[in-house]
Structure 1
Amino acid sequence: MTNSGIYTNSPGQDQVLRPYTVHMGTASSIRIAVPYFTRASEILQAAARGARIELLVGLNRSTDPSALRSVLNSPNCLVRYFTDRYHAKVFLFDGVAMLGSANLTGGGMASNREATLVLDQPGDEERILELELFFAQVWDSAEVLTPQILKQFKDAWDKSSRLGNPDAPFQMLRSVEPPTVLSGSGRKSAQQYVLSGLQKLIYGEYRPAFAEVSDVLRELGLRRPEFVGFDPSVETNRFLNWVRLEHAVGEASWQEAQQRPEKDRRYLVRELATQWVSTMNTHIPDDYFQLLTELRTVMGTPESIRASNHDQLARALICVHAFKQQLRFTLGGEEALPTKFWQMNHGDLQRVQNSLINLVHGTDDFAERICAVLYDERYKLGAFGRFCTLELVGTLKPEQVPPINGRMAKALRFLGFNVRPS
């Protein structure tokens, strides 16, 4: 590396690629914000060794959708985006920062003439902190890149290469801008704000945390015999339920729990999982697997939902723990809950069927389908909150979203994850 810490891709040995690859190979926390992105190889390698990566990119004709797809599909990677008005290039690695003109592209790293400064010396701490705060601000105002948004972007990107006006196809994407001094820049509607919050909660908190716990259970190779033949997510769900009831007892146990680094979280999960596979007190209801089978029979396909009557749909929903929890507030207990549900939904069987079909089997982004059930008058369901939607779809389609409910979220907090339980 040069003594000055400035890299310009001059002839010789000061390519921006040099410090970038060094820190990508060692850092445990990596945060990158660039408007142009085509180079994914170092990110994939870092993710494979366990580093946590937050990548913020611009969706434009200079960003490669295939590179984005590879990162989006990689574990330990979170991706957010802007469509306009973002030009800063910031790289953060465990207390080291790179700042300058270089995008995360082949040209930016090696072949274009750039000017990039590496901050890694005593006395740089205040400047690095300012860059970390800047990244936190733009990261919070960016939107989550979902598979559906990536598909829209790829369609626009493919179309732009065939048109005389290469920028026109990108106008199909909803504008996402960082807040600036310009009036109204970055302002969201109430519906966009709710959707953005849900996407960040699901993709940024619940799914990575649930996946880490599942990964530890898989690494141990230990499974309770009751769960053989079921998707591993079902056992992770019940394991977290057991953690909450056996170890995270009382509200203070999770409210006051400190966030833990990944290695400490994994150690604690391994300790508790060893107890889980041998315990006699699993807190699994006697009829749990029967209810799980009933839920899949009724909700497994759009056709099965359409063929179900009032009673069958309500009984299937009672299989969802978050839905059944409403018994605490329902006079008459379990027998009265279906009546309450249908009263709050005006007895409209077809409308409830449409809502459940869209929620479980729809093709829109999952967070958008949650918003529909919670806020859209066409699909809104009474007596059916956010955790009901998460647990229902997560049980039936765990590849989309983990089967999280409030009890599991509190268990994750107890284990040291930074998740919001409510």
Structure 2
Amino acid sequence: MDDEVCPAAFLKDRKKKRMMALRDSYGNTASTGYTINWFSHCTSVGCDAYLASPFFTTTEPIGILTKRGCKVNLLVRLCSITPPPILRKAIANPLVRIRYYTDREFHAKLYIVGDVALVGSANLTDSGLKTNREVSVVVRRNDDGFDDLVSLYEMFWSSAETLTADILSQYELAFRQIGDPKEEEEFQFKLEQFVPEAVVPSAKVGSEKVSKERAFLQKYHRKYDEEIIPAFREVEAIFAAFGKRRPEFEGEDPVIEIGRFLGWCRLVEAPGETWKETTLASAAERRQRVLSSLDAWTTSTDTQAGDMYDAEKETDRIHRLRNAMASPEAIAALSYDDLFDALIGVHAFNDRLRHVSGGITGLKAQFAENSLPRIKVTLSHLLYGSGVALNRAYDCIRNEQWKLAGFGEACVMELLGWLDPDRPPVNGRTIKALRFFGFEVHE
């Protein structure tokens, strides 16, 4: 049927269907299609999305994707155009992970959703998606070049830095102090005094020493801030919705009970190497596994389960630990006996008893070889130093200036979690319990 003889209703319906179809290109006009609509046109339910845009000022495309269950990997540039509030809104979405560059050489505008990619000139801004005269071209999985676009995204993603809550707070501080310089180069120079530098792969990274340090920091940020902490927060949300608590923990910080619960699960429900044997699971499956374990936890008659602490002692030790290390001044005033008495409440530190002869007395004598002033300086740096918390943790794990003999990664991360409200306490048992529930976390 020709258009000239079609009924008006048929024409209207056909035009509507044409507007909803995935186009071959977008130019932000009625006739060429608006870039924002691509995110609706291309989206399959539950697919993964990979977005790269140096400028980021709107969460609208992310909202379109996550409402359909898509997991979004977002790569942006921290600059005067990308405001902290929009990043905070995006990072609050549990389906969104964000990495960043500070380098002005990062210009890529590349969006891959399922089997379709969009590449062109449009940033993730209202003007880039709706009003600027942009040119963006659609590439489908069977088209030449699609796999190359995926590889390019993977290269950019693997070299970028993880945007954590700590780094975002530093970015907010930078915005307040820098103001709004007219030159991007000036903003970048000042920004990198607050936020760790992140350069694109084609740019010079710097000395071999700096490159190795950056690689280790990337590893820690991805391990904790992209894997372990989101998994812990998911368990925390399930625990809150479960609505039951053991009477021994009633009225106490829920994180204390969750920490004991995860340790209990590792010992009772995932002993030995059985934690490795469970399959990775969807969010719905993870929820059922956690709920099943919570049922067992709340009815168990043995919360100690072969460990050093029962529920009541667990609460006491965390109070003692937090009081002893409540401030740099509190740490400075501690005697060695009081400091050790607080630290022995850290499960990862207490576990060293298995490797030291002489029990508590032997461990106490061995740890004292670090010297009391050095221990205090390191703990104060870890808990109250300047900059990003995980970077300070890295210092205490790998930097000779700060690290302590007999106080490794698990000790550092668990202690940091008990004192920092923005980070949960994490040790080897925590990680293995989370893996037992089906989370993709790594030791």
Question: 2:90 matched to 1:67?
Answer: no
Match of 2:49 in 1: 30
Aligned 1:18-417 pairs, distance under 5 A: 18-21=37-40, 26-27=45-46, 29-43=48-62, 51-84=70-103, 85-119=105-139, 123=142, 128-154=146-172, 162-163=180-181, 165-172=183-190, 173=192, 174-180=196-202, 188-251=210-273, 253-283=274-304, 285-286=309-310, 287-343=313-369, 345=370, 347=371, 349-397=372-420, 399-417=421-439
Q: Distance in 2 between matches of 1:114 and 1:186?
A: 39
Q: How many Å apart are 1:293 and its aligned residue?
A: 2.3
Under a length normalisation based on structure 1, what TM-score does the superposition of the two structures give?
A: 0.88
Identical-pair percentage: 34
Question: 2:25 matched to 1:6?
Answer: yes
Unaligned runs of 5+ residues in structure 1 are none
Tell me the secondary structure at the aligned position of residue 395 of structure 2: helix
Tell me the secondary structure at the aligned position of residue 407 of structure 1: helix
Q: How many Å apart are 1:50 and its aligned residue?
A: 6.3
Structure with larger Rg: 2
Q: Distance in 1 between matches of 2:179 and 2:392?
A: 32
Tell me the secondary structure at the aligned position of residue 208 of structure 1: helix
Q: How many Å apart are 1:239 and its aligned residue?
A: 1.7
Q: Distance in 1 between matches of 2:41 and 2:256?
A: 40
Tell me the secondary structure at the aligned position of residue 299 of structure 2: coil
Q: How many Å apart are 1:44 and its aligned residue?
A: 5.3
Q: Distance in 1 between matches of 2:301 and 2:213?
A: 46
Q: How many Å apart are 1:79 and its aligned residue?
A: 1.6
Task: Return the letter of the residue paired with 1:355.
Answer: T
Q: How many Å apart are 1:412 and its aligned residue?
A: 1.2
**Which region of structure 1 is more displaced relative to structure 2, 306-315 or 45-54?**
45-54
Q: Distance in 2 between matches of 1:20 and 1:316?
A: 53
Aligned length: 413
Q: Distance in 1 between matches of 2:165 and 2:131?
A: 31
Distance 1:241-1:377 versus aligned 2 partners, 3 A rule: same
Q: How many Å apart are 1:143 and its aligned residue?
A: 0.6
Distance 1:100-1:48 versus aligned 2 partners, 3 A rule: same
Q: How many Å apart are 1:156 and its aligned residue?
A: 5.3
Contact in 2 for aligned 1:76/1:208 (Cα 8 Å)? no
Q: Distance in 2 between matches of 1:210 and 1:229?
A: 21
1:267-300 Cα distance to aligned partner (Å, 9 max, x none): 2112222222112232362332222222122122
Q: Distance in 1 between matches of 2:111 and 2:59?
A: 14
Q: How many Å apart are 1:328 and its aligned residue?
A: 0.8
Q: How many Å apart are 1:339 and its aligned residue?
A: 0.8
Under a length normalisation based on structure 2, what TM-score does the superposition of the two structures give?
A: 0.84
RMSD between superposed Cα atoms in Å: 2.8
Task: Return the letter of the residue paired with 1:203.
Answer: D
Contact in 1 for aligned 2:36/2:61 (Cα 8 Å)? no
Tell me the secondary structure at the aligned position of residue 189 of structure 1: helix
